[in-house]
Amino acid sequence: MRTKTLNVPSALLCFFFLSCHHLLRHAQAQVPSTVGYTCSATANRTAYPCQTYALYRALSPDFLDLAAVGDLFQVSRLMISNPSNISSPTAPLVAGQPLFVPLSCSCNSPNSSISISYANISFTIKSGDTFYQVSTHNFQNLTTYQSVELVNPNLEATNLTIGVTAYFPIFCKCPNRTQFGNGTNYLISYVFQPSDNISTVASFFGVQAKAITDLNGNNIQPFDTIFVPVARLPVLSQPTVVPSAAPSGKTERKGVIRGLAIGLGITGLVLIFVVGFLIYRDGLLKKKIDGKGDEENKVLYRSKQGSERRKEMEVGLMADVSDCLDKYKVFGIEELREATDGFRESSLIEGSVYKGSINGDLYAIKKMKWNAYEELKILQKVNHGNLVKLEGFCIDSEDDCCYLIYEYVENGSLYSLLHENKNEKLSWKTRLQVAIDVANGLQYIHEHTRPRVVHKDIKSSNILLDSNMRAKIANFGLAKSGCNAITMHIVGTQGYIAPEYLADGVVSTKMDVFSFGVVLLELISGKEAIDEDGNVLWTSAGRILEGNEEEKARKLREWVDNELFLESCSIESILNVVTVAIACLHKDPSKRPTMVDIVYALSKSDDLFFDISDNGSSAPPVRAR
Ligand SMILES: *[C@@H]1O[C@H](CO)[C@@H](O)[C@H](O)[C@H]1NC(C)=O
Ligand SMILES: *[C@@H]1O[C@H](CO)[C@@H](O)[C@H](O)[C@H]1NC(C)=O
Ligand SMILES: *[C@@H]1O[C@H](CO)[C@@H](O)[C@H](O)[C@H]1NC(C)=O
Ligand SMILES: *[C@@H]1O[C@H](CO)[C@@H](O)[C@H](O)[C@H]1NC(C)=O
Ligand SMILES: *[C@@H]1O[C@H](CO)[C@@H](O)[C@H](O)[C@H]1NC(C)=O
Ligand SMILES: *[C@@H]1O[C@H](CO)[C@@H](O)[C@H](O)[C@H]1NC(C)=O
Ligand SMILES: *[C@@H]1O[C@H](CO)[C@@H](O)[C@H](O)[C@H]1NC(C)=O
Ligand SMILES: *[C@@H]1O[C@H](CO)[C@@H](O)[C@H](O)[C@H]1NC(C)=O
Ligand SMILES: *[C@@H]1O[C@H](CO)[C@@H](O)[C@H](O)[C@H]1NC(C)=O
């Protein structure tokens, strides 16, 4: 919407120049390539990445329920059922039933000579799978085996090992500014069927046939992926489920859930879950209604206690619990006791997080009171290499608590590596990589989740480093879905909290940007966000870039971690990161950059670093200036 107002003039301009219009049409008629659709990540960065949709059809026999389709595309059932006009996410599907599957579309360069746009979906090869079979059957020609080969250069297409992970590039496109300006908010990926013609596709999506040919050309072949420009998703009319099939499916589910509840011996627990799910459904409701405050809806919802409401809630609860059960392992409390030596002190990592070994695999096990639901709900929606992965959960009814079980991240927190482990110093290259990893993780939760997720507690102790020193964001305990909400209850960590949040309780993605700026300062200076005397690091940062070149250089030398002077790393690279950090710390949240801008700016720092190191010894050490 923001872009709409910006670009009306340019669209109008084009409208008046016939030749320009003509050119446009030619450029738009892009020939589908077997490897994918080329894109430009740098030409206008705002276009990529984006959230888009693909039209997928329920397919017999493997893809006849939302759980199977959701697993394939790594999204939850609700993320498909909501845009697809399906009221009961657990009901079976009818073969051929249309679904809108959400995709995170980005512009990627699988090799240095080509940039193509796709959603990167991981897929574990099972017996009998080939790139061709999975592309044409499972993904229904939303990609091609040629493209899969391009994206997986390390895999031998004719000799796939069972259990290996391949990445399937699902074709997608993001509208550029011109298209946004013309009212196109999504370019839906659609596989042209043999029974289709342009007019039937156009009327299915409620658009003009010309809009489709302008974008995809006139020579559309069956099984080509085409892009349909729409302002909003059309409402799919879903087949009414055969009456006899629906109840049986439902009772079965009910049985499973009830069985589980009894199995865990926690009938009372259901009540707690109900409250948790109430909050969850509030979030969804909020999205559906409008931007009203979270708190308001909560109150509204709780005050209505009619039996109808309760029934509705029960149905929702079923769907949502089963959503979690699909994705996560449910651990037994005995298993966890054994893994952690009875929660001995020696297994404690920090706070209430224990290290445990289950069947030879290491896990981090976090003990919680009944506040795990928020985190579970958020982690369920996200899947990114720079976010700590949740593996499962456990409910201990006797002790009235529950546990979240995460992947174990070997090298511990950035905080301890920077400030506690004085012997082992992090190189500038590693620090830069950490910054870029965290920025990517945050970009993902800010841009690719609907509603957006705000972490709210970004700090060096919530950033973990794996065995390759790649960073992962942990601890989504305070994270919040939704944006621009106001909270009364201020949470977070001193030294990292954005001033507007402290003052007014305004929650926005820009508060994470602020905290990220503080983490950058820690990486540059090696100092803690708040020192023993209570001095807050960020308050002194603004002054570094004041004054003339000489003063700047002097102040920078005072600031930068002495360890970095011992390395021959580029001062331009450091200066660039300082500039990013200071932009993040702007008092006015609207003036802070977005994580998309930050990822871009930090990659530039990375280039500066590598440019220098390529020249080897000719690189001037920091000290030289
Ligand atoms: C937007 O995309 C259309 C079609 O691909 C292209 O013709 C046009 O030049 C693009 N506009 C901008 C501003 O990139
Ligand atoms: C990207 O979009 C901005 C804002 O409309 C525009 O000023 C700029 O020229 C565009 N860049 C390119 C390379 O098209
Ligand atoms: C796809 O995603 C995985 C992890 O999420 C990443 O390791 C891989 O590099 C990505 N591949 C491409 C080509 O984007
Ligand atoms: C990159 O991929 C394209 C398309 O498959 C191919 O033509 C080209 O040779 C590749 N380039 C390199 C450097 O591998
Ligand atoms: C995908 O395309 C191939 C031909 O390229 C076709 O045989 C196959 O049926 C298509 N798959 C689906 C699910 O339509
Ligand atoms: C297939 O892959 C396996 C394991 O990756 C390897 O041991 C085997 O030699 C390969 N076979 C061929 C014919 O390349
Ligand atoms: C903009 O949209 C209108 C109507 O939706 C269409 O007629 C026109 O061709 C579009 N212009 C461009 C440049 O795509
Ligand atoms: C498209 O198909 C429909 C029905 O299948 C038919 O009525 C219509 O004439 C076709 N249109 C074109 C342009 O072929
Ligand atoms: C959703 O699907 C149902 C069943 O086909 C249909 O009756 C209903 O009209 C659809 N919803 C909307 C808003 O069109």
Its sign, for the CA torsion 443, 444, 450, 452, is negative
Q: Which letter does DSSP use for residue 49 in this model?
A: S
**H or E segment and range at residue 189:** strand 186-191
pLDDT at 462: 92
Query: Is the CB of residue 507 below 6 angstroms from any atom belonging to ligand 3?
Result: no
| Pair 372, 225 in one domain | no
Mutating to test ligand 1, I would choose from 50, 176, 177, 228 the residue with most ligand atoms within 8 A of its C-beta, which is 176
Strands 225-230 and 329-330, sheet pairing: unpaired
Phi, psi angle pair for 425, to nearest 5°: -100, 145
| Whether the CB of 15 sits within 6 Å of ligand 5 | no
Find out whether the beta carbon of 94 lies less than 6 Å from any atom of ligand 9. Answer: no
Residue range of the domain that includes 457: 416-603
Cα 196 to middle of ligand 2, angstroms? 36
Q: Are 388 and 444 contained in the same domain?
A: no
Domain boundary residue, one of 386, 407, 428: 407
Measured by CA distance, the residue closest to atom 5 of ligand 5 is 223
Tokens of 380: 């369920």
* Same structural domain, 326 and 444: no
SS3 7: helix
CA distance 33 to 443: 29
Give me the phi and psi of 161, to 5 degrees please: -85, 135
Residue 148 lies in a domain: yes
Q: State if residue 8 touches ligand 2 by the CB under 6 angstroms criterion.
A: no
Say whether both 151 and 222 belong to one domain: yes
* Spans of the chain below 70 pLDDT: 1-33, 41-46, 240-327, 369-374, 480-490, 568-569, 607-625
Ligand 9 centroid, distance to 238 Cα (angstroms) = 6
Q: Are 459 and 384 within one domain?
A: no
Contact assessment for residue 498 and residue 518, using Cβ atoms and an 8 Å cutoff: no
With a 6 A CB cut-off, is 28 part of the ligand 1 pocket? yes
Check if 305 has its Cβ closer than 6 Å to any atom of ligand 1.
no
Contact yes or no for 452/508 (Cβ under 8 A):
no
For the chain, what is the domain count? 3
Alpha-carbon distances, residue 133 vs 145, 191, 224, 573 (angstroms)? 8, 16, 16, 46
535 and 494 inside one domain = yes
Alpha helices in 290-410 (DSSP H): 294-303, 307-327, 333-339, 372-381
Instruction: Output the pLDDT for position 43.
Output: 58
CA distances to 147, 150, 153, 168 from 157, rounded to whole Å, are: 12, 10, 9, 13
Length of the chain: 625
Amino acid in the structure at residue 219: N
Amino acid identity of residue 440, one-letter, is N
Q: Which helix (H) or strand (E) holds 123?
A: strand 114-124
State whether the Cα torsion 170-159-153-386 is positive or negative.
positive
Residues 336 and 456 in one domain: no
Position 145 scores a pLDDT of: 94
294 located within any domain: no
Ligand nearest to the CA of 199: 8
- 457 catalytically annotated: yes
Name the helix (H) or strand (E) containing 355.
Answer: strand 353-358
Whether 270 is covered by a domain: the verdict is: no
Tell me the pTM: 0.49
Residue 522 exposure: Cα atoms within 13 Å on the Cβ side: 27
Question: Considering the domain boundaries, does residue 241 fall inside one?
Answer: no
- Residue 42 Cβ inside 6 Å of ligand 1? The answer reads no
d(CA 405, CA 73) in angstroms, rounded, equals: 23
| CATH code of the domain containing 495 | 1.10.510.10
* Residue 620, preceding peptide bond in cis (omega within 30° of 0): no
- Identify whether 575 is part of a domain: yes
- The atom number, within ligand 3, closest to the CA of 108 reads 14
Residue type, 597: D
Which residues sit with their C-beta closer than 6 Å to ligand 4?
35, 111-114, 150
Would you say the CB of residue 193 lies under 6 angstroms from ligand 5?
no
Q: Which atom of ligand 8 is nearest to the CA of 195?
A: 5
Cα–Cα dist 486/505, whole Å: 5
In a domain, 224, yes or no: yes
Q: Are 153 and 60 in a shared domain?
A: yes
CA distance 344 to 324: 29
Q: Is residue 330 domain-resident?
A: yes
Residue 153 belongs to a domain: yes
Is 384 found in the same domain as 424? no
| Maximum Cα interatomic distance, the chain, rounded to a whole number of Å | 81
Return the ligand 7 atom nearest residue 21 CA.
13
Answer yes or no: do 350 and 479 share one domain.
no
Nearest CA to ligand 3 atom 1: 120
CA of residue 439 to ligand 5 center, whole Å: 39
Nearest CA to ligand 8 atom 8: 199
Instruction: From the candidates 282, 437, 457, 561, give the one annotated as an active-site residue.
Output: 457
Residue ending a domain, among 376, 407, 438, is 407
Which residues form the pocket of ligand 6, taking CB atoms under 6 Å from any ligand atom? 159, 161
440 Cβ neighbours under 8 A, 6+ residues apart: 384, 386, 599
Q: Which of 407, 436, 468 is the last residue of a domain?
A: 407
Tokens of 522: 């820690």
Q: Is 146 in the pocket of ligand 5 (CB under 6 A)?
A: no
Question: Same domain for 471 and 554?
Answer: yes
For 492: left if phi > 0, alpha if psi spans -120 to 50, otherwise beta; the answer is left
List the CATH number of the domain containing 396.
Answer: 3.30.200.20
Q: Are residues 330 and 455 in the same domain?
A: no
As a whole number of angstroms, the distance between CA 103 and CA 83 comes to 12
Can you tell me which atom of ligand 2 is nearest the CA of 7?
5
What per-residue confidence (pLDDT) applies to 291? Answer: 31
Q: Residue 234: is the preceding peptide bond cis (ω within 30°)?
A: no
